[in-house]
Amino acid sequence: MIFEPNTSRSVLQRRSSTSIVIQAGLDGLAVTGVAWYLINYHIGYISQAYVIMVLLLLGALAVVYDHYAIYRSNVGFAVKAFKLLKAWTAAFCFLVAMAFLTKTSEQYSRLLVGELFVIGYFAQLLLHLATRELQKKFLAHPAQRENALIIGTGELANFLHQKISNNPWLGERVVGSVLIGGSDDQGKDGSKSAQRLTILGHISDLDELVVQHSIRTVYFVTPLDGSHVIKDVYLKLFDKHISVNWVPDIFSLRLINHSVREIAGIPVLTLSETPLMGMRLFMKNLEDKVLAFLILLVAAPVLALVAIAIKLDSPGPVFFRQERMGWSGDSFRIWKFRSMVVHQPDDGVVKQAEKNDPRKTRVGAFIRKTSLDELPQLFNVLMGEMSLVGPRPHAIAHDAQYSPDISDYFARHNIKPGITGLAQVRGFRGETRDIEQMIRRVDSDIEYINNWSLWLDFTILARTVLAFSGKHAY
């Protein structure tokens, strides 16, 4: 028997409200209007070059604003302003990059472009603020909200309740929840929130509760083993003309770059996936190769001096190479400047570097303190084995040591390992004395994977300059 979805309609429908279309249109008009005024003020006429610039900017805004969910997220105005700034900056970076790649940057006034960046941003910000206030005044009437009921309990149900209650644009009010199982213990989640979800009864009381509270929307919030209850209840709700939504509780799992997509009409919940695919992988590789090459050019004299100092200080090779596990579990040999005397591991055990470690040479102590010993890893970056930013690759012996005690330890290999990373700029580097320190390091690595962007990479690189000469570097 061949399975075929019983609908030709795409499962993943992006709902677009009139307010979103209006807001996007206002942003486009604002940017075009500001650009038109500035071009006329500075140049005196609209040239073909500036027409192309504005069209490219509008096209970039359509893509970038969609990526940053500028029109699809309900957040506080301060957060919205920051997201808008990031998206606007990213679109401008694309514009500047295109001008340099096509060697047309000389055709444009730097002053005009700078003013367009500043004035265009604040014009959009004011429009977003005005639209928000108008919606609050004319659309957000609590008395007109429809009643909603959550089937299921626990942390996710309470979280959903809070988000619906704090979002006046949904037009819904959660009156409470019903238990799926036979015990009130399912509702105990330790939440101390003032918006604690009220348990109205058991799922067997659903018919009465729907009538009693005039329920118009139902949310199924089921654990991974509780989806069997949905079908029968769902069919009963058909007769009551109620909107039904399913929120599977996948958050009990450690999610790695999770997403929702569709394959041939079938909804697919991706629980674990690398963020480096398609254009994102291309941009990450481009970032690594260009920056690594430039850093090598600038740092070449430093590398040469360090190599000479190591050779004069103690017998042995200049470089230290060791097997490490990289992206998707593939192994590679990492490059570092040798900072210790040549020795063999005791009984095959790879010992972590310690403070005042007697194995360190005089030059080695200095280059470890300043992290200059890591500079040869730029060659790993150019060979595609590492990235400038990513989880630090541990010795394979340490992978074997920590992975049995940290269930999601190997999730950190869902992206290229890096010379620096989010864990390192937070101070989680150097010797790991206990399992809790490694757990915090792994948590930071997974947070980085889940939130990867070029912007995050640049932020970490900027923070690295300060973090890599701290008290944990030895």
**What is the secondary structure of 371-407 as a DSSP string?**
TGGGTTHHHHHHTTS-EEESPPPPBHHHHHHHTTT-T
Do 316 and 444 fall within a single domain? yes
Scored b (16 or more CB within 10 A) or e, 22-48 reads: ebbebbbebbeebbeebbeeeeeeeee
Do 146 and 129 fall within a single domain? no
Q: Which of 332, 467, 300 is closest to 389 using CA atoms?
A: 467
Q: What is the pLDDT of residue 392?
A: 93
State how many domains the chain has. 3
Helix, strand, coil tally for the chain in percent (to 5): 50, 15, 35
Do 120 and 151 fall within a single domain? no
pTM: 0.71
Kindly report the CATH number assigned to the domain that includes residue 169. 3.40.50.720
- Alpha carbon 186 to chain centroid distance? 31
Do 298 and 418 fall within a single domain? yes
Do 327 and 315 fall within a single domain? yes
Domain annotation covers residue 434 = yes
Do 284 and 414 fall within a single domain? yes
Tokens (6 digits) for 95: 């514009």
Tokens (6 digits) for 263: 């394959």
- The rounded distance, in Å, linking the Cα atoms of 338 and 411 is 29
Q: Please enumerate in sequence order all residues whose Cβ is within 8 A of that of 47, keeping only pairs 6 or more positions apart, or say none.
A: 39
- Alpha carbon 148 to chain centroid distance? 31
Q: What is the pLDDT of residue 372?
A: 87
Tokens (6 digits) for 65: 């604003």
What tens-digit pLDDT sequence spans the chain (474 residues)?
454 555 555 555 555 567 778 888 999 999 999 999 999 999 888 888 899 999 999 999 988 888 788 887 667 788 889 999 999 999 998 888 888 888 888 888 989 999 999 999 999 999 999 888 887 776 655 556 789 999 988 888 998 998 888 776 677 889 999 988 755 444 444 444 445 788 999 888 888 999 999 999 999 988 877 777 787 788 888 778 888 998 888 887 888 888 888 787 788 888 898 999 888 899 899 999 999 999 999 999 999 999 999 888 888 888 888 899 999 888 999 999 888 877 656 555 556 555 656 677 888 888 888 888 889 999 999 999 999 999 999 888 888 889 899 988 999 999 999 999 999 898 887 667 788 889 999 999 999 999 998 889 999 999 987 765 545 554
Do 108 and 151 fall within a single domain? no
Domain annotation covers residue 257 = no
Kindly report the CATH number assigned to the domain that includes residue 127. 1.10.274
Domain boundary among 234, 252, 270: 252
Tokens (6 digits) for 370: 């300043």
The position carrying tokens 């609590």 is 142
- The rounded distance, in Å, linking the Cα atoms of 42 and 431 is 58
Q: What is the pLDDT of residue 185?
A: 45
Q: What is the pLDDT of residue 468?
A: 56
Domain annotation covers residue 363 = yes
Do 211 and 319 fall within a single domain? no
Do 296 and 413 fall within a single domain? yes
Tokens (6 digits) for 128: 């977003």
Do 97 and 52 fall within a single domain? yes
Scored b (16 or more CB within 10 A) or e, 56-68 reads: ebeebbeebbeeb
How far apart, in Å, are the Cα atoms of 70 and each of 62, 88, 92?
10, 10, 16
- Give the range of the structural domain holding residue 433, as residue numbers without chain letter: 278-343+353-469
Domain annotation covers residue 8 = no
